[in-house]
């Protein structure tokens, strides 16, 4: 069954418990369908953009869900926009995607007032909180109409990558891509057969949040509790009060919750499944979460270009230290620098073949060509290996590799070692130029509140865990690490900061 057909059926037949909790409001799924249809009909009339690309500039809220599916019901292509971007950054995306209409709310009026006149065409913001609710009798289009415009190769979403370097790229995801990733992710999360409650804490404008905390729970008829911002105390309060069973976060969020739960324990026994993605899961955080809550963190892996989930540990089949087995409908190959497939246990670039792999990058034919192997596999740029049991291990990012006097050093190994030292909250390692060695590893560290890090003792500690040449030549104590909205460390920016201090 295709994506929109699933949405219409899920909302039409949803049990009473299937609601979106957004502050004091509880929106039943049949009402979500009615509002989505109303938006879709309005977009058919209002939006005159040449490509049908419609911007969604919203925090996590029920309106985001209605805007996403409403755009699809209106035969448009939703383009989620990061609400933390500056006007110039938003202007770039609006121009690149030729967006004429943006669904938003009135709190963002100053943003669109600043954008007025800065594009070759007029961009019309539609303030959803100022629109009247659609009439009760509104119904979805007939199923045969939906089939007509949701062919597998037709665009269903355009997501701009976080852009750790240069301008963001528009990743073109089709109906077939999203349907395939829903099927694979749904099998792992298993929300449809459990009395689950999902919290949407990850930004829905990012692919991980969109798939894991919006598309999967909606299509599987699970209630969703919306949280617009990451406020750890509010998240913990929500987990307890709403009896949340499914928690999807990035590792730094789990780490912060661990520190708060140590200070003030809470009953989180309702949790059934905890998933980490969007970046490495340090063993220290994984172990602390298990010790405090009694629950495993199921680590997974993905990227926007794969819709996004590629692999994930599953309940009852969790292998600590790995990022799980590939989804049932995903094939992973490890390739060497010459493009040859490598056997189990050998490290190389992680390459992906799946129906969930993107159509390409918008307006970037050469970048699209470079993203694939000659035989059509997506090149992730990440290094790793498959073990004998088929679990994927990630060893680092190819671009982050440090070459020290001819020796390859992966920052992730050093970062995990640093995190085992008492008092360390966060750590990031980059390579800085060196006249004699080529590059040397340098570490940036954020200490726990009130902790003092003794550099000498830290060095001694690291020498018991890693080779001497991998021990960072310098340690920089920072108040915080530069990050994007998914809490990923911006290593190019960090490298610039540390070079300026050198």
SS3 string, 424-442, reads EEEEEEEEEEECCCEEEEE
Collapsed DSSP state (helix, strand, coil) of residue 246: strand
Predicted confidence (pLDDT) per residue in 7-19, tens digit: 999 999 999 999 9
Q: Specify the DSSP element, H or E, that contains 414.
A: helix 411-418
Q: Are strands 53-56 and 77-80 parallel, antiparallel or unpaired?
A: parallel
The secondary structure of 290-348 as a DSSP string is: HHHHS--EEEEEE-GGGSSEEEE-BTTB--TTS--EEPTTEEEEEE-TTS-B--TT--E
Hey, where are the domains in the chain?
Answer: 3-383, 399-501
Cα distance between residue 224 and residue 155, in whole Å:
26
CA 4 to chain centre: 22
The predicted structure's pLDDT at residue 437: 84
Domain 3-383 coded CATH 3.40.50.620: no
Question: How does DSSP classify residue 101?
Answer: E
pLDDT tens digits, 402-417? 988 878 898 999 999 9
Question: Which residues are paired to 384 by β-bridges?
Answer: 348, 394
Supply the pLDDT for residue 164: 45
Judge whether 207 and 176 are in contact, CB under 8 Å: no
Angstrom distances, CA of residue 209 to CA of 62, 201, 205, 409, 416: 14, 8, 7, 31, 25
Task: Give residue 165's pLDDT.
Answer: 47
Cβ contact 208:233 at 8 Å:
no
User: Residue 262 is encoded by which pair of tokens?
Assistant: 């140590």
Question: Tell me: the pLDDT tens digits for 120-169?
Answer: 999 999 999 998 877 777 776 666 666 567 889 999 999 998 644 468 89
Q: Average pLDDT over the chain, rounded to whole?
A: 93
Helix (H, G, I), strand (E, B), or coil: what is residue 272? coil
User: What is the C-alpha to C-alpha distance for residues 309 and 299, in angstroms, rounded to an integer?
Assistant: 11
pLDDT reported for residue 408: 80
CATH class for domain 399-501? alpha beta
How far apart CA 257 and CA 249 sit, in angstroms, is 11
- Residue 249's Cβ-count burial label (10 Å; 0-12, 13-18, 19+) is buried
Per-residue pLDDT at 108: 97
- pLDDT beneath 50, residues of the chain: 163-165
Per-residue burial over 113-148, b if 16 or more Cβ lie within 10 Å, else e, is eebeeeeeeebebbebeeeeebeeeeebbeeeebee
């Amino acid at each position: 069954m295709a994506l929109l057909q699933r949405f219409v059926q899920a909302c039409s037949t949803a049990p009473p418990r299937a609601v979106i909790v957004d502050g004091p409001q509880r929106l039943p799924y049949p009402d979500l369908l009615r509002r989505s249809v109303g938006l879709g009909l309005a977009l058919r009339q209002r939006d005159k953009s040449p490509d049908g690309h419609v911007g969604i500039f919203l925090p996590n809220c029920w309106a985001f869900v209605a805007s996403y599916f409403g755009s699809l019901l209106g035969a448009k292509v939703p383009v989620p926009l990061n609400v933390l971007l500056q006007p110039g950054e938003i202007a770039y995306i609006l121009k690149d995607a030729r967006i004429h209409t943006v669904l938003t709310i009135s709190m963002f009026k100053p943003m669109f007032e600043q954008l007025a006149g800065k594009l070759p065409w007029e961009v019309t913001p539609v303030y959803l909180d100022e629109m009247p609710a659609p009439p009760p009798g509104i119904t979805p289009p007939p199923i045969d109409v939906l089939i007509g415009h949701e062919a597998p190769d037709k665009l269903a979403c355009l997501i701009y990558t976080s852009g750790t370097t240069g301008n963001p790229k528009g990743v073109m995801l089709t109906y077939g891509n999203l349907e395939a990733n829903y099927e694979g992710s749904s099998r792992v999360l298993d929300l449809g057969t459990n009395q689950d409650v999902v919290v949407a804490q990850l930004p829905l404008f990012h692919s991980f949040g969109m798939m894991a905390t919006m598309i999967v729970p909606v299509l599987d008829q699970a209630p969703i509790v919306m949280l617009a911002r990451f406020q750890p105390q509010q998240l913990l309060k929500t987990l307890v009060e709403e009896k949340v069973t499914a928690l999807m976060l990035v590792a730094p969020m789990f780490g912060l919750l661990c520190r708060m739960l140590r200070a003030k324990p809470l009953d989180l026994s309702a949790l059934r499944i905890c998933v980490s993605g969007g970046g490495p899961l340090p063993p220290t955080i994984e172990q602390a979460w298990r010790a405090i809550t009694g629950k495993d963190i199921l680590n997974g892996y993905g990227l926007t270009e794969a819709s996004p989930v590629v692999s994930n540990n599953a309940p009852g089949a969790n292998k600590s230290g790995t990022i799980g087995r590939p989804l049932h409908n995903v094939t992973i190959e490890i390739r060497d620098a010459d493009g040859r497939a490598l056997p189990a246990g050998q490290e190389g670039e992680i390459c992906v073949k799946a129906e969930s792999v993107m159509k390409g990058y918008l307006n970037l034919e050469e970048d699209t060509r470079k993203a694939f192997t000659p035989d059509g596999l997506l090149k992730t740029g990440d290094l790793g290996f498959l073990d004998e049991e088929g679990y994927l291990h990630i060893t680092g990012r190819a671009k982050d590799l440090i070459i020290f006097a001819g020796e390859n050093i992966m920052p992730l190994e050093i970062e995990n070692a640093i995190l085992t030292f008492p008092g360390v909250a966060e750590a990031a390692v980059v390579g800085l130029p060196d006249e004699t060695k080529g590059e040397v590893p340098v570490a940036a560290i954020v200490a726990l509140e009130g902790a003092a890090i003794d550099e000498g003792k830290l060095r001694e500690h690291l020498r018991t865990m890693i080779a001497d040449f991998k021990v960072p030549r310098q340690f920089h104590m920072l108040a915080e690490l530069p990050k994007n909205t998914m809490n990923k460390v911006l290593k190019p920016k960090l490298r610039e900061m540390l070079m300026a201090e050198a």
